[in-house]
Amino acid sequence: MAEEMLRFVNRSQKLPDKRSAAERRKDFGEIYAGFSSQRAQEQASRCSQCGIPYCTVHCPLGNVIPEWLRLTTEGRLKEAYELSSSTNSFPEICGRICPQDRLCEGNCVIRPGFKSVTIGAVERYITETAFAEGWVLPRLPIEETGQSVGIVGAGPAGLACAERLRAAGHEVHVYERQEKPGGLLMYGIPGFKLDKSVVERRWKLLEEQGIIFHLGQSVGHGEGALPLEELRQRHDAVFLATGVYRARQVKGPGAGLANVVEALSYLKASQTEDAAADLTAKGKQVVVLGGGDTAMDCVRTAIRQGAKDVVCAYRRDRNNMPGSRQEVLNAEEEGARFEWMLTPEAFLGDDVVKAVRLREMRLGAADGEGRRAVEPTDNIRDLKADLVICALGFEPENLPELWQQPDLSVTRWGTLDVSGKGHETSLPGVFAGGDIVRGASLVVWAIRDGRDAADAIMNYLSAGAARAATSVEE
């Protein structure tokens, strides 16, 4: 083992530099800078090179983290990049937006005596260095297979699947209803967490690889949409990676008032140049309902748009909220206020919302995962608001009904059923992955599904080719 490693005892954890709250309130630029070479080497050298690396076990992609940390410490960055990109299709994205405290870093064994190795920041550093040095090239196929795959949805699941299939020589067509690929990377996650140029850089590489994008093209339903049957006829296999977009509604009187909006419409408008004027928080008293990462993104977007005041109301307390602690901290630094133990009951106002009526809650017993349940009290509070953003999570749309595909099986949660069939749905040759299978999840899990589904599709295609060859011989 390299002598430089195991330095966690005398080298403290250093995070990437973070811009001051006052500065970052003014723009949508990323808040963290990348590591310098020196800091990346120092921080990578803190790794104790565990025989059984729990960081790897808890990385959904099984990244070989200790190996690329050691290569980084030794300055062997090209090898570090080759290794890290062999298991992760978009390491520069995961390095920025994985909730590392719940995944790799949260399971680093030097904790709790010492602070974890800063794995995500090193992963970002390795890949950014590779881009700067020109080592990141499109993975061109060695030969064409003559088989084609249609992919519906250009989010991380669809793109990871496309990249892998194209590298193996398949013709790959991606059908995406938006004007740009990326899914929630482009139209959900705000620029202060993930700059759009990072997503566009990948898009360019995928095009150079020969993937054919059909942008602004819906599949399944709506005007001008391609029916799934047509896609099944055009291609030898199909991968569905459409994500989950049906927002959980706040029930109660006044939910239809103007300026009571759904989180994703708000975030998307904030990331689109022709944002509707009434969908900006500028000068408004904003209340965000919810306690997950989407709620934090809305809070922090509203602050950047120049809201008068931003309050986030959530029905549990700080210790029992689903969102990342770091994101709450970032939001508080930027000026957001949190009101805990409140659940919405009604929206007040004539045509336009003026206030939200909330019921105070109290904590009850813990569930199997240790999260405390909440119970209503008799107390009611009104919070003044002239923009209310509802961020209570997402559910899958009813695809069998919307797409008129009664044979497409779903689970009791409405997600596509691929149980026990290596990502294949109940329709032969139609595969699925990402949020539409898992429910609202994480980018890193979507990438994992895209990669695994690509392997399953390749097995399916080669089995089909073998069957065709046998029948010709007979």
Q: Which of 40, 61, 355, 361 binds ligand SF4 (CB under 6 A)?
A: 61
The only residue of 98, 103, 237, 288 in contact with ligand FAD, by rule CB under 6 A: 98
Q: Is 99 left (phi over 0), alpha (psi -120 to 50) or beta?
A: beta
Among 4, 13, 21, 50, binds ligand SF4 (CB under 6 A): 50
Contact 1, 49 (CB under 8 A): yes
Contacts of 220 (CB under 8 A, 6+ apart): 152, 226, 227, 228, 399, 402, 403, 405
φ and ψ at residue 150, rounded to 5 degrees? -100, 130
Rule CB under 6 A: say whether 198 interacts with ligand SF4: no
Asked if residues 280 and 261 have their Cβ atoms less than 8 Å apart, the reply is no
Specify the stretch interacting with ligand FAD by CB under 6 A; choose among 37-45, 137-145, 149-157, 407-415.
149-157
Examine residue 435 and tell whether it contacts ligand FAD (CB under 6 A). yes
Q: Judged by CB under 6 A, does residue 100 bind ligand SF4? A: yes
Token couple for 79 = 């090898």
- Token pair 């770091």 in the structure block, residue: 326
| Rounded least distance, CB 55 to ligand FAD, Å | 17
Closest by CA position to 264, among listed 440, 427, 122, 136: 440
User: Which one of ligand SF4, ligand FAD, none interacts with residue 149, CB within 5 to 8 A by kind?
Assistant: none
Amino acid at 361: M
Instruction: Give the integer Cα–Cα distance in Å for 450 and 72.
Output: 28
Q: Which of 80, 157, 211, 299 binds ligand FAD (CB under 6 A)?
A: 157
Residue 434 binds to ligand FAD (criterion: CB under 6 A): yes
The residue range among 344-352, 367-375, 418-426, 442-450 that interacts with ligand FAD, by the rule CB under 6 A, is: 442-450
The span of 163-171, 344-352, 410-418, 440-448 binding ligand FAD (CB under 6 A) equals 440-448
What are the angstrom distances between the C-alpha of 231 and each of 47, 211, 212, 296?
48, 16, 14, 38
Among 31, 80, 83, 94, binds ligand SF4 (CB under 6 A): 94
Q: Which residue among 34, 95, 150, 220 contacts ligand FAD (CB under 6 A)?
A: 220
Amino acid making up residue 211: I
Q: Does 118 bind ligand FAD (CB under 6 A)?
A: no
Instruction: From 75-83, 107-115, 217-225, 365-373, give the range in contact with ligand FAD by CB under 6 A.
Output: 217-225
Give residue for tokens 């195991």.
6
The 3-state DSSP class for residue 173 equals strand
182 contacts 270 by C-beta, under 8 angstroms: no
Closest to 16 (Cα-Cα) out of 99, 119, 106: 119
| CA triple 271-272-273, angle to 5 deg | 120
> Residue 296 CB, nearest distance to ligand FAD (Å)?
8
Instruction: Determine the Cα–Cα distance for residues 181 and 167; give it in Å rounded to an integer.
Output: 19
Which of 95, 190, 323, 434 touches ligand SF4 (CB under 6 A)?
95
User: Which of 41, 43, 48, 178 contacts ligand SF4 by CB under 6 A?
Assistant: 48
Interacting positions 255-294 with ligand FAD (CB under 6 A): 264, 267, 293-294
Q: Is the CB of residue 103 less than 8 Å from the CB of residue 465?
A: no
With CB cut-offs between 5 and 8 Å by kind, which of ligand FAD, ligand SF4, none does residue 123 bind?
ligand SF4
The reply on whether position 83 binds ligand SF4 by CB under 6 A is: no
Q: How far is the CB of 167 from ligand SF4 (least distance, A)?
A: 19
98: nearest Cα among 403, 365, 448: 448
- The residues in 25-64 that bind ligand FAD, with binding defined as CB under 6 A, are none
- 212-215, strands of its sheet edge to edge: 212-215, 171-176, 148-152, 237-240, 430-432
Where on the chain is the footprint of ligand SF4 (CB under 6 A)?
Answer: 47-50, 53-55, 59, 61, 63, 65-66, 88, 94-95, 98, 100, 103-104, 108-110, 117, 119-120, 123, 444
Where on the chain is the footprint of ligand FAD (CB under 6 A)?
Answer: 97-98, 152-158, 175-178, 183-184, 188-189, 193, 218-220, 241-243, 264, 267, 293-294, 297, 434-435, 441-444, 446
